[in-house]
Amino acid sequence: MADLFNKHIKKATTRTKEKLLEGIGKAKATQDEVFDIHANNLMKQSKASEKLYKDVKGYTQALKSLCQAEKVLRETIRETYESDWPEREQFTALLDNLDIQTIQLEKSVGDDLVQNVSQYVNQFGDLKKKVDKRGRKLVDYDHAKNTYTSLTSSSKKSSSDPKVTKALTELQQTERNYKEINNELLEILPATYDGRITFLVDTLQTMFNAHSIYQTEAGSTNKQIVSQLDKLGQSMDYLRVARPEPRTLTPIDTTSDNASASPANSPLPQSTLSVPSTPQNSATTPTPVSPSPAPPASEGSNPFDEEEENVEEEVCANRVYPKITATPSTKAEEIPARRGEKDPNNPFDESEDENPGVDEAITYKPEEKKVLYVLKSTHAYQAKNTDELNFTPDIEIKVLEPKSPELLDEGWLIGELPDGTIGFFPENFTKKI
């Protein structure tokens, strides 16, 4: 074992010394220009194939990610396509075909292509090792040749000298080893370099054929899916959710509410009471005023019974509570349907001097009109106030930007009819064009 190690060290030292002598010109090196050309072609071919392998591997990884994303998307589409929609089984079958086609593409490009390129690249490692070995054999040959030349050039030693004989034997051995590996490489390297053409043709044809087959089959399947979706779109009329019919706006009638209120919460209709000027804790009894005429009795009732009941209620009220002046309401006031409509009997409403009036809100100069969008009426509307629009179905209404948005209640807009009339109107009587 030690002898083998020493022999290896001695050989490595001899080769290093020989290269050093050749580098400084003290020893003659054998030149082979043909082999150098093949060696350079090998290095160039190796670098190109390694770059190709790297890019193909990255491409296949991206393709696998894309195929996986498409599978997940198609699975989501299956879940989204509801069971009661037309031809669901046929639709899901088309998606299954796309899954199968994607798997075939992933196998052809992602697995087979990478394996072929990998095998092609791996051969350059062995060839580079043989080129390096050939270089070492060449150094041994040059060393043996230079040693034999130096011994034979000396006139003191004859051809039968043991040193000359040994040098000749080493020269013959190293020359045989060098020529053997050199001739082998001279056959392999040109063939390998020429094989780059067939390799590239086969590799690219495999990849593009796989894509061509996939795109043809997937394109046909995609067209069928588009046709299937067209059928779904045409079925929307009977698949859409039922919508309730819009109700017309009517003013709130509070007459029935006042009529059904309890007597304790409503003023007595038979008399008009005056408010006392003294404080509530005074013992002075307020002077009752003459009762106002009572409203006519309803049909089917006894007026004399009703009068007796009213007298009794008045007597009881005079004993416990002071009488106040109240004007009976024969008809409930209508609740304003929009901002801008004020109750004349409500003292808390702001005066028209404090807030802009409703008439000013719908009065526009030509340069102030700003049309936001256009609506079309779906139902007829009869105005309840003078500042509202009257219109019939299928009338285009231009929606104007309000001057004072605070005057608009929810669900109301300001619009202009084709004849130039401007006013308020309910939005739910219209639809967008």
Domain containing residue 424: CATH number? 2.30.30.40
Provide the CATH number for the domain around residue 51: 1.20.1270.60
Total count of domains within the chain = 3
Beta bridge partner(s), residue 371: 400
Q: Give the residue from 239, 258, 287 where a domain finishes.
A: 239
Angle at 152 between CA 149 and CA 153, to 5 degrees: 80
Kindly state the DSSP code that residue 369 receives in the 8-state scheme: -
Q: Give the residue from 191, 217, 239 where a domain finishes.
A: 239
Is 399 within the bounds of a domain? yes
Q: Is the pLDDT of residue 433 over 50?
A: yes
Token pair, residue 46, equals 């190796």
- pLDDT of the residue at 261: 45
Assess whether 216 and 144 both reside in one domain: yes
Assess whether 92 and 225 both reside in one domain: yes
Token pair, residue 318, equals 């005079």
Assess whether 210 and 315 both reside in one domain: no
**Using CA atoms, how far apart are residues 120 and 192, in angstroms rounded to an integer?**
10
CB neighbour class for 97 (10 Å; exposed up to 12, middle 13-18, buried from 19)? middle
User: Shortest CA distance to 49 belongs to which of 143, 103, 105, 125?
Assistant: 125
Percentage of the chain modeled with pLDDT above 70: 64
Is 1 within the bounds of a domain? no
Q: Give the residue from 239, 263, 284 where a domain finishes.
A: 239
Is 219 within the bounds of a domain? yes
User: Shortest CA distance to 231 belongs to which of 74, 88, 73?
Assistant: 88
What are 15-29's pLDDT values in tens digits? 676 666 666 666 667
Comparing 409 with 290, the larger pLDDT belongs to 409
- pLDDT of the residue at 315: 44
Helix ranges restricted to H, 25-87: 33-80
Letter for the amino acid at 123?
Answer: Q
What is the pTM assigned to this prediction? 0.49
* Distance in Å from the first CA to the final CA of the chain: 98
| Average pLDDT over every residue of 300-320 | 46
179-182 long-range contacts, Cβ below 8 Å, gap at least 24? 181/130, 181/133, 181/134, 181/137, 182/32, 182/35, 182/134, 182/137, 182/138
Percentage of the chain modeled with pLDDT above 90: 42
CB atoms closer than 10 angstroms to residue 150 = 11
- pLDDT of the residue at 10: 64
What Rg do the C-alpha atoms of the chain give, in angstroms?
A: 54
- pLDDT of the residue at 27: 64
Strand arrangement, sheet containing 412-416? 422-426, 412-416, 396-400, 371-377, 430-432
**Using CA atoms, how far apart are residues 414 and 416, in angstroms rounded to an integer?**
7
- pLDDT of the residue at 410: 87
- pLDDT of the residue at 141: 86
Q: Is the pLDDT of residue 400 over 70?
A: yes
Comparing 297 with 428, the larger pLDDT belongs to 428
* Alpha-carbon dihedral 135, 141, 143, 149, rounded to 10 degrees: -150
**Using CA atoms, how far apart are residues 429 and 393, in angstroms rounded to an integer?**
9
Letter for the amino acid at 218?
Answer: A
Query: Could you tell me if 408 and 339 are in contact, meaning their C-beta atoms sit under 8 angstroms apart?
Result: yes
Is 344 within the bounds of a domain? no
| Average pLDDT over every residue of 301-315 | 47
Q: Is the pLDDT of residue 356 over 90?
A: no
Q: Is the pLDDT of residue 44 over 70?
A: yes
Assess whether 215 and 296 both reside in one domain: no
Domain of 318, in residue numbers: 273-330
Assess whether 321 and 364 both reside in one domain: no
- pLDDT of the residue at 144: 85
CB atoms closer than 10 angstroms to residue 207 = 19
CB atoms closer than 10 angstroms to residue 424 = 26
Q: Is the pLDDT of residue 229 over 80?
A: yes
| Lowest mean per-residue pLDDT among 63-72, 350-359, 362-371 | 350-359
Residue 30 pLDDT grade (very low, low, confident, very high; cuts 50, 70, 90): confident
- pLDDT of the residue at 1: 57
Q: Is the pLDDT of residue 266 over 50?
A: no
Token pair, residue 243, equals 């919508």
Assess whether 294 and 200 both reside in one domain: no
Distance of CA 214 to the CA centre of its chain: 26
Kindly state the DSSP code that residue 108 receives in the 8-state scheme: I
- pLDDT of the residue at 205: 93
Is 255 within the bounds of a domain? no
Beta bridge partner(s), residue 430: 377
Is 48 within the bounds of a domain? yes
CB atoms closer than 10 angstroms to residue 6 = 10
Assess whether 224 and 89 both reside in one domain: yes
Kindly state the DSSP code that residue 391 receives in the 8-state scheme: B
Beta bridge partner(s), residue 376: 396, 431
Q: Is the pLDDT of residue 145 over 80?
A: yes
CB neighbour class for 105 (10 Å; exposed up to 12, middle 13-18, buried from 19)? buried
Assess whether 324 and 370 both reside in one domain: no
**Using CA atoms, how far apart are residues 262 and 8, in angstroms rounded to an integer?**
124
Is 22 within the bounds of a domain? no
Assess whether 54 and 109 both reside in one domain: yes
| Average pLDDT over every residue of 205-232 | 93
| Average pLDDT over every residue of 210-228 | 94
Helix ranges restricted to H, 235-302: 236-239, 255-260
Assess whether 324 and 400 both reside in one domain: no
Q: How far is CA 416 from CA 155, 249, 333, 365, 381, in A?
A: 128, 20, 30, 13, 14
For the chain, give the longest Cα–Cα distance: 173
**Using CA atoms, how far apart are residues 362 and 414, in angstroms rounded to an integer?**
7
Assess whether 319 and 367 both reside in one domain: no
- pLDDT of the residue at 429: 93
**Using CA atoms, how far apart are residues 360 and 368, in angstroms rounded to an integer?**
12
Q: Is the pLDDT of residue 272 over 60?
A: no
**Using CA atoms, how far apart are residues 30 and 171, in angstroms rounded to an integer?**
14
- pLDDT of the residue at 329: 38
Is 323 within the bounds of a domain? yes
Assess whether 67 and 195 both reside in one domain: yes
